[in-house]
Amino acid sequence: MNQRIDDAYKNCDGVSRRGFLQIGALSGLGLSFTDYLRGTAQAKPANKTNCILIWTRGGTSHHDTFDPKPDAPVSVRGEFNAIDTAIPGVQFTEIVPNFAKHADKFALLRGWNPRNGSHGTADQWVMSGRRFNAAVAYPTYGSVVSYFHGFQSALPPFIQLNDHVDRRFGGGTSGILGLEHNPFVIDADANADNFSVRDITPPEGVTFERVDRRRNALAKIDALQRRADLQQDALKAQDEYYEAALNMITAPETKKAFDIESEEDATRDAYGRHRFGQSCLLARRLVESGVQFVTVTDGGWDTHQNNFKSLKDSRLPPLDQAIPQLIMDLEERGLLESTLVVWLTDFGRTPKINSASGRDHWASTGFAMMAGAGVPAGHVLGATDAEGGYVSKDEYFSEDIATTIYQKLGMPSDLIAHSPDGRPVQLIEGKPIAEWM
Protein backbone atom coordinates (compact mmCIF):
# COMPACT_ATOMS: atom_id res chain seq x y z
CA MET A 1 0.00 0.00 0.00
CA ASN A 2 1.19 3.46 -0.77
CA GLN A 3 -0.45 6.68 0.29
CA ARG A 4 1.23 9.94 -0.63
CA ILE A 5 0.86 13.48 -1.82
CA ASP A 6 3.99 13.40 -3.93
CA ASP A 7 7.32 11.64 -3.59
CA ALA A 8 8.96 15.04 -3.22
CA TYR A 9 7.47 15.38 0.26
CA LYS A 10 9.45 12.42 1.58
CA ASN A 11 12.79 14.25 1.84
CA CYS A 12 13.89 15.35 5.29
CA ASP A 13 16.86 17.73 5.59
CA GLY A 14 18.58 19.42 8.50
CA VAL A 15 17.39 17.30 11.42
CA SER A 16 17.88 19.25 14.68
CA ARG A 17 16.57 18.33 18.12
CA ARG A 18 13.41 20.27 17.19
CA GLY A 19 13.28 18.44 13.87
CA PHE A 20 13.78 15.13 15.63
CA LEU A 21 10.73 15.78 17.75
CA GLN A 22 8.76 16.78 14.67
CA ILE A 23 9.75 13.54 12.99
CA GLY A 24 8.69 11.70 16.12
CA ALA A 25 5.36 13.47 16.15
CA LEU A 26 4.62 13.30 12.44
CA SER A 27 6.82 11.09 10.31
CA GLY A 28 6.72 8.47 13.03
CA LEU A 29 3.04 8.27 12.28
CA GLY A 30 3.66 7.92 8.58
CA LEU A 31 2.73 11.57 8.03
CA SER A 32 4.71 13.06 5.14
CA PHE A 33 2.52 15.86 3.85
CA THR A 34 3.09 19.00 5.91
CA ASP A 35 4.03 20.92 2.78
CA TYR A 36 0.64 19.88 1.43
CA LEU A 37 -0.94 21.99 4.15
CA ARG A 38 1.12 25.08 3.36
CA GLY A 39 -1.13 28.04 2.70
CA THR A 40 -4.31 26.08 3.39
CA ALA A 41 -4.33 25.89 7.18
CA GLN A 42 -7.15 28.42 7.43
CA ALA A 43 -10.57 27.30 6.24
CA LYS A 44 -12.34 29.49 3.70
CA PRO A 45 -16.06 30.04 3.16
CA ALA A 46 -17.90 26.80 2.48
CA ASN A 47 -18.32 25.60 -1.06
CA LYS A 48 -21.89 24.38 -1.45
CA THR A 49 -21.22 21.84 -4.22
CA ASN A 50 -18.77 18.96 -4.01
CA CYS A 51 -17.56 16.70 -6.81
CA ILE A 52 -16.72 13.03 -7.30
CA LEU A 53 -14.80 12.49 -10.53
CA ILE A 54 -14.44 9.00 -12.01
CA TRP A 55 -11.34 8.75 -14.22
CA THR A 56 -10.88 5.60 -16.35
CA ARG A 57 -7.32 5.75 -17.57
CA GLY A 58 -6.59 4.54 -21.08
CA GLY A 59 -9.66 5.51 -23.10
CA THR A 60 -13.01 3.77 -22.55
CA SER A 61 -14.71 2.65 -25.77
CA HIS A 62 -17.88 4.60 -26.55
CA HIS A 63 -18.96 2.04 -29.18
CA ASP A 64 -19.01 -0.81 -26.69
CA THR A 65 -20.77 1.04 -23.89
CA PHE A 66 -23.09 4.02 -24.45
CA ASP A 67 -23.06 4.70 -28.18
CA PRO A 68 -23.60 1.35 -29.92
CA LYS A 69 -24.03 1.10 -33.66
CA PRO A 70 -26.23 -2.00 -34.11
CA ASP A 71 -26.80 -1.35 -37.82
CA ALA A 72 -23.13 -0.92 -38.67
CA PRO A 73 -21.00 -3.71 -40.20
CA VAL A 74 -19.65 -6.21 -37.68
CA SER A 75 -16.18 -4.73 -38.18
CA VAL A 76 -17.56 -1.60 -36.50
CA ARG A 77 -20.43 -2.94 -34.44
CA GLY A 78 -18.31 -5.48 -32.60
CA GLU A 79 -19.40 -8.44 -30.50
CA PHE A 80 -22.02 -6.85 -28.25
CA ASN A 81 -25.72 -6.46 -28.86
CA ALA A 82 -27.63 -3.27 -28.14
CA ILE A 83 -30.29 -3.23 -25.43
CA ASP A 84 -33.04 -0.77 -24.52
CA THR A 85 -32.61 1.59 -21.59
CA ALA A 86 -34.92 3.40 -19.17
CA ILE A 87 -35.02 6.23 -21.73
CA PRO A 88 -37.34 5.44 -24.67
CA GLY A 89 -35.44 5.20 -27.95
CA VAL A 90 -31.98 5.15 -26.33
CA GLN A 91 -29.87 2.00 -26.39
CA PHE A 92 -26.65 0.95 -24.65
CA THR A 93 -24.72 -2.28 -25.11
CA GLU A 94 -25.65 -5.46 -23.31
CA ILE A 95 -22.57 -5.38 -21.07
CA VAL A 96 -23.80 -2.31 -19.16
CA PRO A 97 -27.25 -3.56 -18.11
CA ASN A 98 -27.27 -1.64 -14.83
CA PHE A 99 -26.48 1.64 -16.56
CA ALA A 100 -29.28 0.86 -19.01
CA LYS A 101 -31.72 0.14 -16.20
CA HIS A 102 -30.87 3.43 -14.48
CA ALA A 103 -30.26 5.61 -17.53
CA ASP A 104 -32.89 8.02 -16.20
CA LYS A 105 -30.64 8.94 -13.27
CA PHE A 106 -27.72 10.55 -15.12
CA ALA A 107 -26.93 12.64 -18.18
CA LEU A 108 -24.84 11.32 -21.07
CA LEU A 109 -22.84 13.35 -23.57
CA ARG A 110 -22.42 11.48 -26.87
CA GLY A 111 -21.16 14.60 -28.62
CA TRP A 112 -17.76 14.89 -26.93
CA ASN A 113 -14.87 15.59 -29.31
CA PRO A 114 -11.60 15.09 -27.36
CA ARG A 115 -9.43 16.46 -30.21
CA ASN A 116 -6.59 14.33 -28.86
CA GLY A 117 -5.60 10.70 -29.11
CA SER A 118 -2.48 10.56 -26.94
CA HIS A 119 -2.07 9.28 -23.41
CA GLY A 120 -0.55 11.66 -20.91
CA THR A 121 -1.69 14.75 -22.71
CA ALA A 122 -5.21 13.33 -22.31
CA ASP A 123 -4.86 13.18 -18.53
CA GLN A 124 -3.65 16.77 -18.50
CA TRP A 125 -6.17 18.19 -20.98
CA VAL A 126 -9.35 16.37 -19.99
CA MET A 127 -8.75 16.77 -16.25
CA SER A 128 -8.05 20.50 -16.51
CA GLY A 129 -9.94 21.71 -19.58
CA ARG A 130 -6.82 23.36 -20.96
CA ARG A 131 -4.76 22.00 -23.84
CA PHE A 132 -1.24 20.91 -22.82
CA ASN A 133 1.26 23.76 -22.88
CA ALA A 134 4.86 23.06 -21.93
CA ALA A 135 5.23 26.63 -20.67
CA VAL A 136 2.19 26.62 -18.35
CA ALA A 137 1.30 23.76 -16.01
CA TYR A 138 -2.47 23.98 -15.89
CA PRO A 139 -3.98 22.59 -12.66
CA THR A 140 -6.52 19.82 -12.42
CA TYR A 141 -10.07 20.47 -11.17
CA GLY A 142 -9.54 19.32 -7.61
CA SER A 143 -6.46 21.46 -7.21
CA VAL A 144 -8.39 24.54 -8.32
CA VAL A 145 -11.10 23.74 -5.78
CA SER A 146 -8.41 23.42 -3.09
CA TYR A 147 -6.83 26.71 -4.17
CA PHE A 148 -10.05 28.72 -4.22
CA HIS A 149 -11.99 27.18 -1.33
CA GLY A 150 -9.36 25.72 1.01
CA PHE A 151 -10.11 23.39 3.91
CA GLN A 152 -13.71 22.87 5.01
CA SER A 153 -12.80 20.31 7.68
CA ALA A 154 -9.71 18.63 9.10
CA LEU A 155 -9.56 16.50 5.96
CA PRO A 156 -7.77 17.67 2.79
CA PRO A 157 -10.06 19.39 0.27
CA PHE A 158 -8.77 17.20 -2.61
CA ILE A 159 -8.27 13.44 -2.34
CA GLN A 160 -7.48 10.93 -5.09
CA LEU A 161 -8.33 7.26 -4.62
CA ASN A 162 -6.09 4.74 -6.40
CA ASP A 163 -3.16 5.82 -8.54
CA HIS A 164 -4.22 5.53 -12.18
CA VAL A 165 -3.32 8.93 -13.59
CA ASP A 166 -0.61 9.55 -16.20
CA ARG A 167 1.44 12.43 -14.78
CA ARG A 168 4.04 12.77 -17.55
CA PHE A 169 2.52 16.06 -18.65
CA GLY A 170 1.15 17.15 -15.30
CA GLY A 171 -2.15 15.31 -15.49
CA GLY A 172 -4.12 15.29 -12.26
CA THR A 173 -1.74 17.67 -10.47
CA SER A 174 -1.79 21.21 -9.11
CA GLY A 175 0.58 22.71 -11.70
CA ILE A 176 1.09 26.44 -11.21
CA LEU A 177 -0.94 26.45 -7.98
CA GLY A 178 1.84 24.82 -5.96
CA LEU A 179 2.46 21.44 -4.36
CA GLU A 180 0.18 22.14 -1.41
CA HIS A 181 -2.81 21.82 -3.77
CA ASN A 182 -1.81 18.44 -5.18
CA PRO A 183 -4.22 15.59 -4.39
CA PHE A 184 -3.74 13.56 -1.27
CA VAL A 185 -3.30 10.20 -3.00
CA ILE A 186 -4.57 7.04 -1.30
CA ASP A 187 -3.47 3.91 -3.13
CA ALA A 188 -4.68 1.43 -0.52
CA ASP A 189 -7.35 -1.06 -1.55
CA ALA A 190 -10.60 0.00 0.10
CA ASN A 191 -11.89 -3.55 -0.41
CA ALA A 192 -9.04 -5.13 1.55
CA ASP A 193 -9.54 -6.57 5.01
CA ASN A 194 -8.56 -4.08 7.71
CA PHE A 195 -8.28 -1.25 5.19
CA SER A 196 -6.31 1.67 6.62
CA VAL A 197 -4.67 4.83 5.34
CA ARG A 198 -1.03 4.88 6.35
CA ASP A 199 -0.49 8.64 6.48
CA ILE A 200 -3.32 9.21 8.93
CA THR A 201 -3.22 5.97 10.90
CA PRO A 202 -0.75 5.57 13.77
CA PRO A 203 1.36 2.43 13.46
CA GLU A 204 0.96 -0.35 15.96
CA GLY A 205 2.13 0.71 19.40
CA VAL A 206 1.75 4.46 18.83
CA THR A 207 -1.25 5.88 20.67
CA PHE A 208 -2.77 9.34 20.38
CA GLU A 209 -1.68 9.94 23.99
CA ARG A 210 1.89 9.44 22.80
CA VAL A 211 1.25 11.93 20.00
CA ASP A 212 0.06 14.48 22.56
CA ARG A 213 3.18 13.96 24.69
CA ARG A 214 5.40 14.56 21.67
CA ARG A 215 3.42 17.65 20.75
CA ASN A 216 3.86 19.05 24.26
CA ALA A 217 7.58 18.29 24.21
CA LEU A 218 7.91 20.02 20.85
CA ALA A 219 6.14 23.10 22.21
CA LYS A 220 8.63 23.35 25.10
CA ILE A 221 11.61 23.06 22.75
CA ASP A 222 10.03 25.73 20.55
CA ALA A 223 9.73 28.11 23.50
CA LEU A 224 13.43 27.76 24.27
CA GLN A 225 14.51 28.04 20.64
CA ARG A 226 12.44 31.14 19.91
CA ARG A 227 14.38 33.17 22.46
CA ALA A 228 17.47 33.00 20.30
CA ASP A 229 15.92 32.52 16.88
CA LEU A 230 15.49 35.55 14.64
CA GLN A 231 13.01 33.86 12.28
CA GLN A 232 10.07 33.67 14.62
CA ASP A 233 7.52 34.39 11.89
CA ALA A 234 8.77 31.47 9.83
CA LEU A 235 8.67 29.17 12.85
CA LYS A 236 5.14 30.29 13.65
CA ALA A 237 4.02 29.50 10.11
CA GLN A 238 5.71 26.11 10.25
CA ASP A 239 3.96 25.39 13.52
CA GLU A 240 0.62 26.08 11.84
CA TYR A 241 1.35 23.48 9.17
CA TYR A 242 2.28 20.85 11.72
CA GLU A 243 -0.72 21.76 13.86
CA ALA A 244 -3.00 21.32 10.85
CA ALA A 245 -1.39 17.97 10.11
CA LEU A 246 -1.85 16.81 13.69
CA ASN A 247 -5.43 18.05 13.68
CA MET A 248 -6.09 15.93 10.63
CA ILE A 249 -4.84 12.67 12.11
CA THR A 250 -6.50 13.23 15.47
CA ALA A 251 -9.82 14.66 14.26
CA PRO A 252 -12.85 12.42 14.85
CA GLU A 253 -14.16 13.08 11.32
CA THR A 254 -10.94 11.65 9.86
CA LYS A 255 -11.34 8.34 11.60
CA LYS A 256 -15.05 8.28 10.81
CA ALA A 257 -14.54 9.04 7.11
CA PHE A 258 -12.17 6.15 6.54
CA ASP A 259 -14.01 3.63 8.73
CA ILE A 260 -15.57 1.90 5.75
CA GLU A 261 -16.11 -1.28 7.78
CA SER A 262 -18.78 0.56 9.76
CA GLU A 263 -21.01 0.53 6.67
CA GLU A 264 -23.81 -2.01 6.61
CA ASP A 265 -23.03 -5.16 4.66
CA ALA A 266 -25.99 -4.53 2.37
CA THR A 267 -24.57 -1.14 1.38
CA ARG A 268 -21.10 -2.52 0.72
CA ASP A 269 -22.60 -5.36 -1.30
CA ALA A 270 -24.65 -2.91 -3.37
CA TYR A 271 -21.51 -1.00 -4.39
CA GLY A 272 -19.70 -4.27 -5.09
CA ARG A 273 -17.09 -6.13 -3.09
CA HIS A 274 -14.26 -5.06 -5.36
CA ARG A 275 -11.72 -2.27 -5.28
CA PHE A 276 -13.61 0.08 -7.56
CA GLY A 277 -16.94 -0.38 -5.80
CA GLN A 278 -15.51 0.21 -2.34
CA SER A 279 -13.56 3.21 -3.67
CA CYS A 280 -16.85 4.77 -4.79
CA LEU A 281 -18.35 4.07 -1.39
CA LEU A 282 -15.32 5.64 0.28
CA ALA A 283 -15.68 8.67 -2.00
CA ARG A 284 -19.23 9.15 -0.74
CA ARG A 285 -18.02 8.93 2.86
CA LEU A 286 -15.28 11.48 2.21
CA VAL A 287 -17.73 13.97 0.71
CA GLU A 288 -19.98 13.49 3.73
CA SER A 289 -16.99 14.30 5.95
CA GLY A 290 -16.03 17.57 4.30
CA VAL A 291 -13.78 16.63 1.37
CA GLN A 292 -14.81 18.84 -1.53
CA PHE A 293 -13.28 16.98 -4.47
CA VAL A 294 -12.61 13.24 -4.75
CA THR A 295 -11.14 11.60 -7.84
CA VAL A 296 -11.68 7.83 -8.14
CA THR A 297 -9.25 6.38 -10.68
CA ASP A 298 -9.30 3.05 -12.48
CA GLY A 299 -6.78 1.66 -14.97
CA GLY A 300 -6.60 -0.91 -17.74
CA TRP A 301 -8.79 0.78 -20.37
CA ASP A 302 -6.28 0.95 -23.23
CA THR A 303 -7.84 -1.98 -25.07
CA HIS A 304 -5.71 -2.37 -28.21
CA GLN A 305 -6.04 -6.13 -27.77
CA ASN A 306 -8.93 -8.32 -26.64
CA ASN A 307 -11.16 -5.29 -26.26
CA PHE A 308 -14.39 -7.26 -25.97
CA LYS A 309 -13.19 -9.90 -23.51
CA SER A 310 -11.52 -7.28 -21.32
CA LEU A 311 -14.56 -5.01 -21.20
CA LYS A 312 -17.02 -7.84 -20.56
CA ASP A 313 -15.01 -9.90 -18.06
CA SER A 314 -13.17 -7.34 -15.94
CA ARG A 315 -13.36 -3.67 -16.78
CA LEU A 316 -17.05 -2.81 -17.05
CA PRO A 317 -18.85 -5.01 -14.47
CA PRO A 318 -17.45 -3.11 -11.43
CA LEU A 319 -18.36 0.27 -12.92
CA ASP A 320 -21.77 -0.93 -14.08
CA GLN A 321 -22.49 -1.89 -10.50
CA ALA A 322 -20.85 0.92 -8.54
CA ILE A 323 -21.52 4.16 -10.43
CA PRO A 324 -25.34 3.86 -10.60
CA GLN A 325 -25.30 2.77 -6.95
CA LEU A 326 -23.21 5.82 -6.02
CA ILE A 327 -25.72 8.13 -7.70
CA MET A 328 -28.70 6.43 -6.05
CA ASP A 329 -27.00 6.36 -2.66
CA LEU A 330 -26.22 10.08 -2.83
CA GLU A 331 -29.82 10.76 -3.82
CA GLU A 332 -31.23 8.69 -0.96
CA ARG A 333 -29.03 10.56 1.51
CA GLY A 334 -30.03 13.97 0.18
CA LEU A 335 -26.54 14.65 -1.14
CA LEU A 336 -27.03 14.47 -4.89
CA GLU A 337 -28.13 18.08 -5.32
CA SER A 338 -24.93 19.22 -3.63
CA THR A 339 -22.62 16.65 -5.25
CA LEU A 340 -21.62 16.56 -8.91
CA VAL A 341 -20.68 13.08 -10.16
CA VAL A 342 -18.62 13.04 -13.36
CA TRP A 343 -17.16 10.17 -15.44
CA LEU A 344 -14.37 11.12 -17.85
CA THR A 345 -11.76 9.18 -19.81
CA ASP A 346 -8.83 9.85 -22.19
CA PHE A 347 -10.67 9.71 -25.53
CA GLY A 348 -12.80 7.34 -27.59
CA ARG A 349 -11.70 4.25 -29.54
CA THR A 350 -11.57 3.55 -33.24
CA PRO A 351 -14.73 2.64 -35.14
CA LYS A 352 -12.87 -0.13 -36.95
CA ILE A 353 -11.80 -3.17 -34.94
CA ASN A 354 -8.13 -4.05 -35.42
CA SER A 355 -6.56 -7.45 -36.14
CA ALA A 356 -6.01 -8.12 -32.43
CA SER A 357 -9.73 -7.84 -31.66
CA GLY A 358 -9.08 -4.43 -30.15
CA ARG A 359 -9.81 -0.80 -30.77
CA ASP A 360 -7.12 1.86 -30.98
CA HIS A 361 -7.05 5.51 -29.89
CA TRP A 362 -9.62 7.80 -31.48
CA ALA A 363 -9.33 11.57 -31.18
CA SER A 364 -12.68 12.66 -32.64
CA THR A 365 -15.42 11.12 -30.50
CA GLY A 366 -16.04 9.75 -27.05
CA PHE A 367 -18.45 10.13 -24.15
CA ALA A 368 -18.79 11.92 -20.82
CA MET A 369 -21.28 11.38 -18.02
CA MET A 370 -22.63 13.65 -15.27
CA ALA A 371 -25.19 13.41 -12.49
CA GLY A 372 -26.31 15.57 -9.59
CA ALA A 373 -25.87 19.30 -8.91
CA GLY A 374 -28.82 20.16 -11.14
CA VAL A 375 -27.72 18.17 -14.19
CA PRO A 376 -30.93 16.91 -15.85
CA ALA A 377 -31.25 13.19 -15.23
CA GLY A 378 -32.09 11.00 -18.21
CA HIS A 379 -30.76 13.50 -20.75
CA VAL A 380 -28.73 12.18 -23.70
CA LEU A 381 -26.97 14.98 -25.53
CA GLY A 382 -25.27 14.85 -28.91
CA ALA A 383 -24.91 12.16 -31.55
CA THR A 384 -22.27 10.57 -33.75
CA ASP A 385 -22.41 9.40 -37.34
CA ALA A 386 -23.38 5.89 -38.46
CA GLU A 387 -19.97 4.45 -37.50
CA GLY A 388 -19.39 6.50 -34.35
CA GLY A 389 -16.37 8.20 -35.85
CA TYR A 390 -17.42 11.86 -35.81
CA VAL A 391 -19.83 14.05 -33.89
CA SER A 392 -22.89 14.83 -35.99
CA LYS A 393 -24.93 16.82 -33.47
CA ASP A 394 -24.32 19.02 -30.40
CA GLU A 395 -20.53 18.89 -30.38
CA TYR A 396 -18.73 19.82 -27.16
CA PHE A 397 -15.05 19.84 -26.22
CA SER A 398 -13.02 19.17 -23.08
CA GLU A 399 -12.88 22.87 -22.25
CA ASP A 400 -16.70 22.97 -22.36
CA ILE A 401 -16.91 20.08 -19.91
CA ALA A 402 -14.43 21.92 -17.67
CA THR A 403 -16.44 25.13 -17.79
CA THR A 404 -19.58 23.20 -16.87
CA ILE A 405 -17.84 21.51 -13.94
CA TYR A 406 -16.46 24.78 -12.63
CA GLN A 407 -19.78 26.55 -12.88
CA LYS A 408 -21.51 23.68 -11.10
CA LEU A 409 -18.92 24.02 -8.33
CA GLY A 410 -19.59 27.71 -7.95
CA MET A 411 -16.40 28.99 -9.57
CA PRO A 412 -16.40 32.40 -11.26
CA SER A 413 -16.66 32.38 -15.05
CA ASP A 414 -13.54 34.55 -15.31
CA LEU A 415 -11.51 32.07 -13.27
CA ILE A 416 -7.96 33.38 -12.86
CA ALA A 417 -5.07 31.84 -10.93
CA HIS A 418 -1.55 33.17 -10.52
CA SER A 419 1.67 31.40 -11.39
CA PRO A 420 4.58 31.41 -8.91
CA ASP A 421 5.98 34.54 -10.58
CA GLY A 422 2.65 36.35 -10.14
CA ARG A 423 1.47 36.07 -13.73
CA PRO A 424 -2.33 35.78 -14.09
CA VAL A 425 -3.42 32.57 -15.84
CA GLN A 426 -6.91 32.01 -17.23
CA LEU A 427 -8.27 28.60 -16.27
CA ILE A 428 -11.56 28.62 -18.20
CA GLU A 429 -11.80 29.10 -21.96
CA GLY A 430 -14.80 26.99 -22.95
CA LYS A 431 -18.54 27.46 -22.90
CA PRO A 432 -20.87 25.70 -20.48
CA ILE A 433 -23.00 22.82 -21.70
CA ALA A 434 -26.18 24.90 -21.76
CA GLU A 435 -28.53 21.91 -21.75
CA TRP A 436 -27.08 20.74 -18.42
CA MET A 437 -27.04 24.10 -16.64
What amino acid is encoded at 69 in this protein?
Answer: K
* Residue 161 bridge partners (DSSP): 186, 296
Task: List the one residue out of 371, 369, 389, 390 whose CA is nearest residue 381.
Answer: 369
Q: What's the pLDDT score for residue 48?
A: 79
> What's the confidence (pLDDT) of residue 70?
98
- Average per-residue pLDDT for the chain: 86
Which strand (E) or helix (H) includes residue 318? helix 316-332
| pLDDT, average across residues 182-202 | 87
Q: Does the pLDDT of residue 47 top 90, yes or no?
A: no
Residue 44's pLDDT band (cuts 50, 70, 90):
low
Q: Which residue has the higher pLDDT, 332 or 420?
A: 332
Per-residue pLDDT for 316 more than 70?
yes
User: pLDDT tens digits for 260-305?
Assistant: 999 999 999 999 999 999 999 999 999 999 999 999 999 999 999 9
Q: What is the mean pLDDT of residues 82-90?
A: 98
Q: Which of 8-22, 66-80, 238-252, 324-338 has the lowest mean pLDDT?
A: 8-22
- The confidence score (pLDDT) of residue 229 equals 52
**In this model, does residue 204 exceed pLDDT 80?**
no
Contact 390, 377 (CB under 8 A): no
Per-residue pLDDT, 30:
33
N-term to C-term CA, the chain: 40
In tens, the pLDDT along 386-406 reads: 999 999 999 999 999 999 999
**Is pLDDT above 60 for 27?**
no
The dihedral region occupied by 334, where left means phi > 0, alpha psi between -120 and 50, and beta the remainder, is left
Average pLDDT over residues 225-234: 54
Distances (CA, A) of 241 to 16, 69, 120, 217, 234: 18, 55, 32, 17, 11
Domains and CATH numbers, the chain: 3-15+43-199+254-436 (3.40.720)
Pick the residue with more confidence: 229 or 243?
243
Angle between helices 232-250 and 17-25 (to 10 degrees): 20
Identify the band that residue 215 occupies on the pLDDT scale cut at 50, 70 and 90: low
